């Protein structure tokens, strides 16, 4: 348990790729650039870097299944977005885009390693059709404990991360793991 902090955000987003509408859901994703300031307890931090806009409609059951969400900006201009679900082998939704060309994912998997405190220490994301493999190094976490009214619990781990592709490209972005906890 911590003490309250005063937080102020003054950020702007600029689209940095093609909007992507999910076919199976009322949701879209857009790679972007973000800049501005974040102020925490009077300390102002100037920020400029990669971002992602995500909008979805409808209800969401955070306690239904495990999943991974990611959005990365690579140094060669490639933008990636992927969602995988370990309970649905080979399932992935998302894109890889560069220079206006968008390739929709057809499948994928994510594996991850956990440290002693339960946070992910490294992960690997593999997607098709381009056989992309991304090694993920979480850098800074904002984990949340989500408890449903009926007592179900999920650990929601969101992290700023560094990514390296199998062919040596590098980038930054965000990755999330929704980890439903066993009941009992």
Low-confidence residues of the chain, pLDDT below 70? 1
Residue 18: both structure tokens together: 């093609």
Using one digit for the tens of pLDDT, what is the confidence trace for 48-80?
A: 988 999 888 877 889 999 999 999 999 999 999
pLDDT (0 to 100) of residue 1: 65
Q: How far apart are CA 133 and CA 130, in angstroms?
A: 9
What is the model's pTM?
0.90
8-state DSSP, 181: P
pLDDT (0 to 100) of residue 26: 81
pLDDT (0 to 100) of residue 56: 85
The DSSP H or E segment spanning 29 is: strand 27-40
pLDDT (0 to 100) of residue 148: 95
Measure CA of the first residue to CA of the last residue in the chain; give whole Å: 25
Strand-pair category, 79-84 with 92-98: antiparallel
Q: What CA–CA distances, in Å, run from 170 to 44, 122, 144, 158, 183?
A: 28, 15, 28, 20, 39
């Amino acid at each position: 348990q911590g003490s309250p902090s005063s937080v102020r955000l003054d950020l702007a987003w600029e689209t940095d790729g093609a909007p992507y509408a999910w076919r199976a859901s009322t949701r879209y994703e857009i790679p972007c650039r973000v800049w501005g300031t974040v102020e925490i307890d009077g300390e102002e931090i100037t920020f400029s870097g990669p971002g992602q806009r995500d909008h979805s409609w409808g209800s969401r059951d955070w306690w239904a299944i495990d999943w991974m969400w990611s959005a990365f900006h690579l140094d060669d201009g490639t933008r990636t977005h992927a969602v995988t679900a370990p309970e649905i082998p080979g399932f992935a939704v998302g894109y890889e885009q560069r220079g206006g060309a968008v390739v929709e994912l057809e499948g994928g998997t994510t594996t991850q390693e956990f440290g002693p405190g339960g946070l992910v220490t490294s992960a690997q994301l593999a997607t098709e059709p381009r056989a992309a493999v991304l090694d993920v190094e979480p850098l800074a976490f904002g984990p949340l404990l989500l408890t449903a009214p009926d007592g179900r619990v999920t650990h929601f781990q969101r992290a700023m991360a560094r990514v390296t592709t199998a062919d040596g490209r590098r980038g930054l972005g965000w990755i999330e793991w929704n980890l439903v906890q066993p009941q009992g």
